[in-house]
Chain A
Amino acid sequence: MAIPFRETLKTKDFVVTAEAAPGKGSNVAKTLEHIELLKDKVDALNVTDNQSSVMRYPSVGVCLLIKEQGGEPVLQITCRDRNRLAIQADLLFAYSRGISNVLCLTGDSVDVGDHKEAKQVFDLDSVQLIHLVHTLNSGKDMAGNELDGAIDFCIGTSASPSSDPLEPQLIKVEKKLRAGVSFIQTQAVYDLDELKRFTEFVRKMDENVKILGGIVPVIGVKMASYMNENVPGIFIPQNLIDELAEAPKGTGVSKGIEIAARMIRQIRDEKVCDGVHVMFIGREDRVPDILEAAGLL
């Protein structure tokens, strides 16, 4: 039996989660392989919700698979695809099936995905979504009706410590903290001073919330430039790009793993924040290598 994530957040010095990205189609064989590989090596597996607005197998479906395999799932919910009725219904369903962690997100625009002509919902935003989970946790729905069977989710959300300008983002983080979250998972960070400043900002407002630094290994100069130019809220410093450039041909992945592991060690040793969330999309099979190199296995 996996330890409930809520307990892990309270008791563990350094929390480690990884991302589980559902596939496109009803074949879950690969997803099951990743779950099997990772479930006992991390404290929770966080399942994306139509990530990057690309239609996939549902987050709640993979969370159930994780549960069935004996892992601890975190259900990501975005505001893009469902209105307030659908979100509440999904939360009730998830909780009734043993899923008790939720990550409340805004969601990417449909413009970046593979169904660009879809109507995006955004009936709620991420701050309102956090309030909604608290309302359901209190035994009522958003309309004030009593629930037959309460729920009790451990609530998390995301933040972008590298945003420019940062101040409007921090005001939103303040609102999320006031709404009440147990953990914050950051967007991929490469500048640990930035992450440290973010942690200090959050600490001033809330001493108990746990911050998990987002780790996305960069496996080449091309990927680094692409991310710097195209992925909002991400900034890969030049010294990392130079280090990648110096890596011999064909060693990009291992270099990326080495850099990611080094960052994780530094985050842990210097107590930059309370843990890490590792996102190695498409290379989930290599996540254990990162954890091992970081001394976490």
Chain B
Amino acid sequence: MIIAERKPIAEITRALAPYKNVLVAGCGTCVAVCWAGGEKEVGVLASQLRLARGAEGSQISIMETTVERQCEKEMVTDLKDRMAEVDAVLSLACGAGVQTMAEIFDDKPVFPAVNTTFIGRPEREGMWVEMCGACGDCYLDRTGGVCPVVRCAKGLMNGPCGGTRKGGKCEIDPDKDCAWVLIYRRLEKQNRLDLMREYCAPKNFRAVKRPGRVQAGKA
């Protein structure tokens, strides 16, 4: 799923300073699961904003809502009636949701309340880790199901760099595993180390032509 982190409250209040009627819109999907932009986080952020504005002695009227999937035009369009009453939107969705909101209601300024960080999975309570770089050219079949594109800090395709730390940790962060040591161990366990010995040619960065577009049924 898509992982995001809430922006610092100071950055959000600065962006909203000129506005008095704000819709704070969460998203019920990925960002809700990673504790960044679901219904609960909408409530917390709305309270923080009211407090911050109160402390400054300036008024703000906040409406709270959470769209099931803010990246879907139809679901965002359902907010039409409420839009007449606000002069700005604060979206807690990922970048796709913020842009959908901004496109449907293109006469209102829409501000992001989160920083979208990566595609990942929960690792433990309150922690998410990056798993996929959406490179458009998946070769997890050759790496024992460990993605070197994002799990190696340098995205190397033919084995570890010379900087692997003792015990197989990453050069730049001793708390993170070296992806190539993980790949080695996985393939060794499966008796498939020959896959790691195969030369991997330079990556095709045209696999996804930016901006990306996928048409169903083309395969």
A interface residues with partner B (beta carbon < 8 Å) = 79-80, 84, 106-109, 111-112, 120, 122-128, 131-132, 142, 158-160, 163-165, 167-169, 171-172, 174-175, 178-179, 187, 232-233
Instruction: Verify if B193 is at the interface (C-beta below 8 Å from A).
Output: yes
When C-beta atoms are compared, the residue in chain B nearest to A112 turns out to be B172
Assess A168 versus B158: contact at CB under 8 Å? Given A109-B153, A109-B172, A123-B202: no
Selected contact of A125 from candidates B158, B167, B168, CB within 8 Å? B158
Selected contact of A167 from candidates B162, B165, B184, CB within 8 Å? B184
Question: Is A158 a contact of B162 with CB atoms below 8 Å?
Answer: yes
Residues of A within 8 A of B43 (CB): none
Assess A108 versus B202: contact at CB under 8 Å? Given A171-B196, A174-B197: no
Instruction: Verify if B131 is at the interface (C-beta below 8 Å from A).
Output: no
Question: Is A127 a contact of B184 with CB atoms below 8 Å?
Answer: no
The 5 lowest CB-CB distance pairs between A and B, nearest first, are A172-B159, A127-B158, A160-B162, A168-B184, A232-B163
Instruction: Provide the B137-168 mask, 1 if CB < 8 A to any CB of A, else 0.
Output: 00000000000000001111111111111111
Using a Cβ–Cβ cut-off of 8 Å, how many residues does chain B contribute to the interface with A? 33
Instruction: Verify if B5 is at the interface (C-beta below 8 Å from A).
Output: no
Complex-state Cα separation, A56 to B96, whole angstroms: 39
Question: Is B181 a contact of A165 with CB atoms below 8 Å?
Answer: yes
Residues of B within 8 A of A125 (CB): 154, 156-158
Complex-state Cα separation, A187 to B188, whole angstroms: 26
Q: Beyond A109-B153, A163-B160: 14 further Cβ-contacts under 8 Å?
A: A111-B153, A123-B202, A123-B203, A124-B202, A127-B199, A160-B164, A168-B168, A168-B180, A168-B181, A169-B164, A175-B158, A232-B162, A232-B165, A233-B164
B interface residues with partner A (beta carbon < 8 Å) = 153-168, 171-172, 178, 180-181, 183-184, 188, 193, 196-197, 199-203, 205
Residues of B within 8 A of A163 (CB): 160, 162, 164
Could you write out 7 A-B pairs with CB less than 8 Å apart? A106-B154, A109-B172, A122-B155, A127-B159, A128-B200, A169-B160, A175-B197
Complex-state Cα separation, A38 to B161, whole angstroms: 30
Which among B154, B180, B183 has the greatest number of chain A C-beta atoms within 10 A? B154
Complex-state Cα separation, A243 to B30, whole angstroms: 58
Which among B158, B162, B164, B196 has the greatest number of chain A C-beta atoms within 10 A? B162
Residues of A within 8 A of B178 (CB): 168
Complex-state Cα separation, A142 to B172, whole angstroms: 31
User: Shortest Cβ distance from A174 into chain B, in angstroms?
Assistant: 6
When C-beta atoms are compared, the residue in chain B nearest to A108 turns out to be B163
Question: Is A178 a contact of B193 with CB atoms below 8 Å?
Answer: no
User: Shortest Cβ distance from B53 into chain A, in angstroms?
Assistant: 32
Complex-state Cα separation, A109 to B178, whole angstroms: 13
Residues of A within 8 A of B155 (CB): 122
When C-beta atoms are compared, the residue in chain B nearest to A179 turns out to be B199
Residues of A within 8 A of B164 (CB): 160, 163-165, 168-169, 232-233
